[in-house]
Structure formats: C-alpha cells, structure tokens
Amino acid sequence: MKRIFSNMFDKAYEQNRKNILELVDGDSNARLVDLGCDDGAWTEILAKKIGTDKYWGLDINQESLTMAKKRGVRTVKADLKYPLPFKDGFFDVVHANQVIEHVPDVDLFLSEINRILKSGGYAIISTENGSSWHNILAALFGWQIFSLTNVSALGSGIGNPLALHRAEKSSKPTSWTHKTIFNFLGLKEIMSLHGFKHLKLAGAGYYPLPAQAGKIDIRHAHFITIRASK
C-alpha cells in the first residue's frame, strides 16, 4: 500500500512540474531566480524551457549549492526567513516550487518576491493544497492532514497513520518543516493582497484518479501552482 501511495505522489509531483513549465513564457533575455533551488537540476530545466542563460539559484544548503554551481547556476546562499539579497526589480521570473509552506514569514517572502520582480514580471509559486481530497478525508478522521504531518524535526508523519514517512526519524533541519498550508482561495487572496495580478492557477494530483485530473478540479488537487504578475 505504501508503495502505491508513493507512486501516486511521484506522478502528481511530475504533473505539477509539467504545469509549471506550461506557465512560463519563452524569453531569451529573461532573468530567472529559483528560490529553494536544491541541486539546480530543476532550475536548469526551467531555464531551458524559458530559453535563457541568465538564471540564479538560492538555497540555504551549501552542499546543494555546490552541485547547482557545477550545473552552471549562479548560486546564492541565503535563508528565506530574511530579506532576499537581490536588487529591486532585478528579475523577470521568480520561481518557488514547494517552498512557501516552509517559510516562517509568508508576508516577508511574498513582499520580497514582489520587490525583486520587474514591473510586468511574474512569479510562479507551487505548493501543497490544504483542500485536496486526501487532506479533507484525513481531517474527517480527526487525523493531521497529509500536508501538515511534517511539522517537527524530531520525526515524520505525525498524526496520520497513512503518512508516507510515518515513524521515520527526520534527518532534516527545522527549515524543512511545514509552517503554512494554503487552500485554493487562500493562495489567490494572499497573492492579491501583496499586489500581484493576472492570477492563473493549475492543479496536479487527484487520488486515486490519474494526476492529470487535478487540472480539471484545481480546488481539490494535491498541488496548486499559481502564476502571478507584478
């Protein structure tokens, strides 16, 4: 059963990445920054889809940044709980996949994204959806929703018997735990609150149906991705 759940998650995650690629515009002159770039593999794919060789990656983990730098990513080490180390209006595209749920101050995070974007630039933010059907079902049972089982650096899968990594000791720092999980409307409204416009959303993952079904019913998909312009 655990393997089945893991396989469905992987397919949903892959569909989410496809959604992100569908939301970007081709622009060889665009400056891109990937917040939470990890090893830079996805940053490289994203930059290739946009058609730019001007891309940066920010992460807190030096080991990840070392790997990203070898891929040609312009790397910056920084903690997202602080203001971003970039000039105002420097980027055309700001990307953050599965990052906003980890930051301790969502308002600072979004205001900083707005600040470093050029006028007319856009942000693509993707995160887990608190209103996904599997989260709703977990809540009905009185369990921790799947998207909020990663809340402690001491252990994983807290409060949910079906969580993929339940009872496993966590090897991640507290910066990897989930702080805020957005629902469909909540994500839209907080982006608007921070001055973003022309909001466009996409969904991925819809258990037990194929991952593409989340594109039809975004409100209850596992992952939601929003493109928002400055």
Q: Where are the domains of the chain?
A: 2-229
Distance CA 55, CA 17 (A): 18
**Average pLDDT of the residues in 157-161:** 92
The mean of the pLDDT values for the chain is 95
Task: Check residue 48 and give its pLDDT.
Answer: 98
Percent of the chain exceeding pLDDT 90 equals 87
Q: pTM for the full model?
A: 0.95
CB 23 within 8 A of CB 200: yes
DSSP 183-198: -HHHHHHHHHHTT-EE
Q: Amino acid identity, residue 81?
A: K
Once rounded to an integer, what is the mean pLDDT over residues 112-130?
Answer: 98
Alpha carbon dihedral 62, 178, 146, 185, in 10-degree steps, equals -120
pLDDT at 173 over 80: no
The two tokens of residue 31 are 């400056």
pLDDT at 171: 63
Q: What is the pLDDT of residue 96?
A: 98
Whole-number pLDDT of residue 166? 83
pLDDT on residue 155: 83
SS3 annotation, 63-79: HHHHHHHHCCCEEEECC
pLDDT band at residue 2, thresholds of 50, 70 and 90? low
Element (H, E) at 48: helix 41-50
Q: Tell me the mean pLDDT in the region 128-134.
A: 97
Question: Environment class of residue 152 by beta-carbon count within 10 Å: exposed (0-12), middle (13-18) or buried (19+)?
Answer: exposed
CATH superfamily of 2-229: Vaccinia Virus protein VP39 (3.40.50.150)
| pLDDT attached to residue 134 | 96
pLDDT in tens, 25-64: 999 999 999 999 999 999 999 999 999 999 999 999 999 9
Residue 117 β-bridge partners: 91
Helix (H) or strand (E) segment spanning residue 128: strand 117-128
C-beta of residue 190 within 8 angstroms of C-beta of residue 182: yes
Mean pLDDT of 62-73: 97
Alpha-carbon distance of 32 to 76, in angstroms, equals 13
Determine the average pLDDT of the residues in 151-159.
88
Token pair of 162 as six digits: 């079906």
